[in-house]
Chains A and B, each alone.
Chain A
């Protein structure tokens, strides 16, 4: 049953993506009651899928590629739903809704089922560790999307090409603040996730497993976020440079993830 709920959520995210794209094509960000309803319905169906999964397997969908992607998609969906309430930031759904669709579609293709692998540690701390990690990545994704929109809007304004991007995208100030807020939130939660994982391995395994791909990647992501924050608050950098570094950092970490997944055994990944 949980697969049906997930599939409905994916279809609704797709519908929201189409709706956002149509709005963008018409350069018309207003009157988005319908898209908000679609997004809320998608998130509701998604939450139902999580609940049914949990009820069926006795654990939240946090371990294994499919469940992890589905949960990450849920966080992105929640971000879109949250932003849908604020008219100035609503157009961010143009980027985030297709991401949520893609993540959930891939999750459905690879299968949203427990992997059966023995977990390093179970219980509340695992849930907090993984959830905080996902919130961290989702926060960075939102931040990177806002930063990318900032760069595009900046370009339009600078070159006086006042087309659909100018009309549809939020003001530079809004995008800058949103990127900053999401980046800091993501960084804090990712720090919490890494700290919990680090504390556990110190206590039970005597130290960090630096050869573990997910540890390397997690630390790389954390460092890249730290760099993006440092650039943002550096006195010599402009908001445009902060946005550019944010997008580049996210892209590097994302590409690193894809490459790592192709060459490193799956057992070393939780996502």
Chain B
């Protein structure tokens, strides 16, 4: 199969190198145009995320295409500690298709089974499709390839549990919050101490619909900055107790050397019985919240260790699903290969039908010239008869030719058909492209 993927990812390059190779969304169409511009590439797509930059290519000439794309990548990266080739991998043929399917399924992701990559591949496909005219990047083959890739991603997520369960501490916190509150829309959240992890967790919660956000920090400038980012308000660290009773979710991530929410303070400042649940995520080390608070009614207290335990368990479960996901990928690579092989028969079948149609038309004209006594409707009947007859005669051989091609026997079957029907080989007529 004349396919290739040329690129780099989190396995072959560290982040400081990956970010040099990354293409902004505004640069992607130019990069694709450049790759398509007389470089032995007939179709192309570019995936550029924080973890990978990859060109997918439908190639007419590998010797031209691969160095050309590596040059494009090197030009984008500029100065590098090592030559660009050291970070870049090339996969060809079915391996390239398999790679795309593994990427879209999350099998090749840094976080196994991540879901976002499906959207990133869809965006890459849409961007490539937006190129039209002479530098059209997506034609029939890449349309099929990317649509099948997106369907593989869907299949893997539907038929396996590869994407299930939280894969990071912030997403574990969100998963727990969802199990307590159901929808997080309209919930009140507070982050105490605006550390990076606290901010990330808050971001995930806001994405899920937490609407009212308070940020309490000893550093008011930082608190205001974080609060502004999430459309919330900053409160002085000393005042957080005043707002705590109204909160549904509290994230603590201060650098305090001791617990700053003690059982004694909690019992003194909070209502004796909480009518609605309070979910506390303590991601500080040492812990900000005295563990005994977690034993109070309607308080759900999770520390960073608890969340890490969830993430580890989910990761193990995801790993156990990898064989099933790989089997789906293999199945789909095989299906795509069959479809692509079947394509090799299409030009021949088209030519055969054209030839047969020409013969039918000329024989029909000759016959109708001798049957001028027939009414117009009878002539139409005869015309339809010849058309139906031709259709029926050609149906079986063409269907079998396509099936044989899909089974990988396209060369033998097309040779035989050429001989039998007397159709000479022409450029590209049923010839399988070679790598």
Are both chains from one complex? yes
User: What is the total number of residues of chain B having a CB less than 8 Å from a CB of chain A?
Assistant: 24
Query: How far is B179's CA from A153's CA once the two chains are assembled, in angstroms?
Result: 9
Contacting chain B: which of A11-19, A105-113, A168-176, A218-226? A168-176
Asked if B298 contacts A28 (CB within 8 A), the reply is no
Query: How far is B180's CA from A169's CA once the two chains are assembled, in angstroms?
Result: 11
Asked if A173 contacts B273 (CB within 8 A), the reply is no
Query: How far is B237's CA from A157's CA once the two chains are assembled, in angstroms?
Result: 29
Asked if B158 contacts A240 (CB within 8 A), the reply is no
Asked if A171 contacts B273 (CB within 8 A), the reply is no
Asked if A157 contacts B179 (CB within 8 A), the reply is yes
Query: How far is B300's CA from A157's CA once the two chains are assembled, in angstroms?
Result: 7
Tell me if B176 is interfacial: C-beta within 8 Å of chain A: yes
Tell me if A262 is interfacial: C-beta within 8 Å of chain B: no
Asked if B310 contacts A240 (CB within 8 A), the reply is no
Flag A117-137 by CB within 8 Å of B: 1 or 0 each: 000000000000000000000
Tell me if A236 is interfacial: C-beta within 8 Å of chain B: yes
Give the distance to chain A from B273, nearest Cβ to Cβ, in Å: 6
Q: Give every chain B residue within 8 A of A28 (Cβ-Cβ).
A: 161, 164
Known contacts A157-B300, A238-B273, A238-B275; A174/B180 CB under 8 A: no
Contacting chain B: which of A35-43, A158-166, A198-206? A158-166
Chain A positions 144-196 with a Cβ under 8 Å from a chain B Cβ = 153, 157-158, 160, 162, 166, 170-174
Give the distance to chain B from A245, nearest Cβ to Cβ, in Å: 15
Tell me if A263 is interfacial: C-beta within 8 Å of chain B: no
Query: How far is B184's CA from A171's CA once the two chains are assembled, in angstroms?
Result: 11
Asked if B300 contacts A158 (CB within 8 A), the reply is yes
Q: Give every chain B residue within 8 A of A31 (Cβ-Cβ).
A: 158
Q: Give every chain B residue within 8 A of A235 (Cβ-Cβ).
A: 275
Give the distance to chain B from A31, nearest Cβ to Cβ, in Å: 7
Query: How far is B195's CA from A106's CA once the two chains are assembled, in angstroms?
Result: 61
Query: How far is B178's CA from A237's CA once the two chains are assembled, in angstroms?
Result: 23
Known contacts A28-B161, A238-B274, A240-B297; A171/B306 CB under 8 A: no
Query: How far is B298's CA from A166's CA once the two chains are assembled, in angstroms?
Result: 17
Query: Which of these, B161, B180, B310, B313, contacts A173 with CB under 8 Å?
Result: B180
Query: Which of these, A162, A174, A237, A239, contacts B182 with CB under 8 Å?
Result: A174
Asked if A171 contacts B300 (CB within 8 A), the reply is no
Query: How far is B131's CA from A148's CA once the two chains are assembled, in angstroms?
Result: 57
Chain A positions 1-59 with a Cβ under 8 Å from a chain B Cβ = 28, 31
Tell me if B302 is interfacial: C-beta within 8 Å of chain A: yes
Asked if A162 contacts B300 (CB within 8 A), the reply is no
Q: Give every chain B residue within 8 A of A153 (Cβ-Cβ).
A: 179
Give the distance to chain A from B94, nearest Cβ to Cβ, in Å: 30
Query: Which of these, A157, A237, A239, contacts B176 with CB under 8 Å?
Result: A157
Asked if A172 contacts B179 (CB within 8 A), the reply is yes
Asked if A166 contacts B179 (CB within 8 A), the reply is yes
Tell me if B230 is interfacial: C-beta within 8 Å of chain A: no
Asked if B297 contacts A238 (CB within 8 A), the reply is yes
Tell me if B14 is interfacial: C-beta within 8 Å of chain A: no
Closest to B300 in A: A157
Flag A229-251 by CB within 8 Å of B: 1 or 0 each: 00000011111100000000000
Give the distance to chain A from B188, nearest Cβ to Cβ, in Å: 14
User: What is the total number of residues of chain A having a CB less than 8 Å from a CB of chain B?
Assistant: 20
Query: How far is B180's CA from A239's CA once the two chains are assembled, in angstroms?
Result: 12
Asked if B181 contacts A171 (CB within 8 A), the reply is yes
Closest to B295 in A: A158
Asked if B302 contacts A160 (CB within 8 A), the reply is yes
Query: How far is B309's CA from A153's CA once the two chains are assembled, in angstroms?
Result: 18
Known contacts A157-B300, A238-B297; A172/B275 CB under 8 A: no
Known contacts A157-B176, A238-B273; A173/B182 CB under 8 A: yes
Closest to B277 in A: A172
Known contacts A238-B273, A238-B274; A172/B180 CB under 8 A: yes
Query: Which of these, B164, B179, B274, B275, contacts A171 with CB under 8 Å?
Result: B179
Q: Give every chain A residue within 8 A of B302 (Cβ-Cβ).
A: 160
Flag B288-306 by CB within 8 Å of A: 1 or 0 each: 0000001001101010001
Query: How far is B296's CA from A238's CA once the two chains are assembled, in angstroms?
Result: 12
Closest to A26 in B: B161
Asked if B298 contacts A238 (CB within 8 A), the reply is yes
Q: Give every chain B residue within 8 A of A157 (Cβ-Cβ).
A: 176, 179-180, 300
Q: Give every chain A residue within 8 A of B178 (Cβ-Cβ).
A: 171
Asked if B306 contacts A88 (CB within 8 A), the reply is no
Give the distance to chain A from B243, nearest Cβ to Cβ, in Å: 21
Give the distance to chain A from B247, nearest Cβ to Cβ, in Å: 16
Give the distance to chain A from B113, nearest Cβ to Cβ, in Å: 15
Q: Give every chain A residue within 8 A of B273 (Cβ-Cβ).
A: 236-238
Chain B positions 168-206 with a Cβ under 8 Å from a chain A Cβ = 176, 178-183
A-B contact pairs, 11 of them (CB 8 A): A158-B294, A160-B306, A162-B313, A171-B182, A172-B182, A172-B277, A237-B273, A238-B274, A238-B298, A239-B275, A239-B276
Known contacts A172-B180, A173-B181, A239-B277; 10 additional CB pairs below 8 A are A157-B176, A157-B180, A158-B300, A160-B309, A162-B313, A171-B178, A172-B182, A173-B183, A238-B274, A240-B297
Interface residues in chain B, defined as those with a beta carbon under 8 Å from any beta carbon in chain A: 158, 161, 164, 176, 178-183, 273-277, 294, 297-298, 300, 302, 306, 309-310, 313
Interface residues in chain A, defined as those with a beta carbon under 8 Å from any beta carbon in chain B: 28, 31, 88, 153, 157-158, 160, 162, 166, 170-174, 235-240
